[in-house]
Amino acid sequence: MRVLVVHAHPVASSFNASLFRMSVERLIKNGHEVDVINLYEDGFNPVMSETERLNYHDLEVNRQPVEAYVDRLLKAEALVLVYPVWNYGFPAILKGWFDRVFLPGVSFGLVGGKVRPTLHNISKLLVVTSYGGSRFRSWLMGDPPRRIANRMLRATIKPGAPVTYLAHYEMNLSTNKTRHAFMSRVEKALDRI
C-alpha cells in the first residue's frame, strides 16, 4: 500500500519522534511504499493567509500554495498520523496542515452548501499519539482529538474504512514498561495496514 505518514513534534529525541521513526521503518519493512511528511523538518507554515482565506472556495486556485502536500495526500491509500496532544488538541503545526491542505475540492466538496467528503482514496487511518493528562481527565474535557479522528476524519476518508486510535496517556508518569507496551500496540496496528 501507499502509506502517508505525517509527523508533528519539534524534538527529535522525544518519545513521539521515536514512535514516528519506528512506524516508518516498520511500514517499509512490511513492504509498503511509504511517503513521509515531517512538518517540523519541512518548516511548514500552519497559518492560513488572507489570500488563501479569500480564495478558499475557488477550486481553480485554492490548492496552489500547498499543491505538493495536496498531491501526496491524494495519492495515499493509508494515512498514519504521529503527533502529541497539546492542550486537548493538535499541535498548531498539524492543525494548520488540516486548515490549509484539507480544502474544498481536496478532502470535501460543497454541493448546494452541503459538505460531501471526498478523501475516498484513503482506506485505512491510524493515529498514534501521546497525552500529558490521564484518559479520564481527557474524557472529561471531551477528548477533542479523539473525536476529530473517530468522527471527522472517519467521515472524510473512504466510507467504512477502519480507524485505529492509539494513545499513551499520562506521558509525564510514563515508565519504560508503559512505553514499551505502547510501542508493541503500535507495532501490531502497523502490521494490520
Partner 1 sequence: MRILLVYCHPVPESFCAAIRDRAMQTLTTAGHQVDLLDLYAEGFEPVMPANERRHYNEMTLADHPFPDHAERLQAADALLFIYPTWWYGLPAMLKGWLDRVWTPDLTFRIPDGPGPIEPLMTHIQLLGVITTCGAPRWWSYLVAHPGKRTILRGMRALCGRKCKRLFMAHYLMDKSTPESRARYLAAVEKRLARI
Residues that bind partner 1 (CB under 8 A): 9-12, 14, 40, 45-50, 52-54, 57, 86-93, 95-96, 98-99, 102, 110, 113, 115, 133, 137, 140-142, 144-145, 147-148, 151-152, 172-173
177 CB-contact burial (10 Å; exposed 0-12 / middle 13-18 / buried 19+) = exposed
- Residue 54 or 61: which CB sits closer to partner 1? 54
Q: Whole-number minimum distance, CB 184 to partner 1, in Å?
A: 24
- Residue 26 or 179: which CB sits closer to partner 1? 179
Q: Residue 37 has which C-alpha cell?
A: 511528511
Q: Whole-number minimum distance, CB 126 to partner 1, in Å?
A: 19
Q: Whole-number minimum distance, CB 33 to partner 1, in Å?
A: 27
Q: Residue-wise over 124-155: b if at least 16 C-beta within 10 A, else e?
A: bbbbbbbbbbeeeebeeeebebbebbbeebbe
Q: State which H helix or E strand residue 108 sits in.
A: strand 108-111
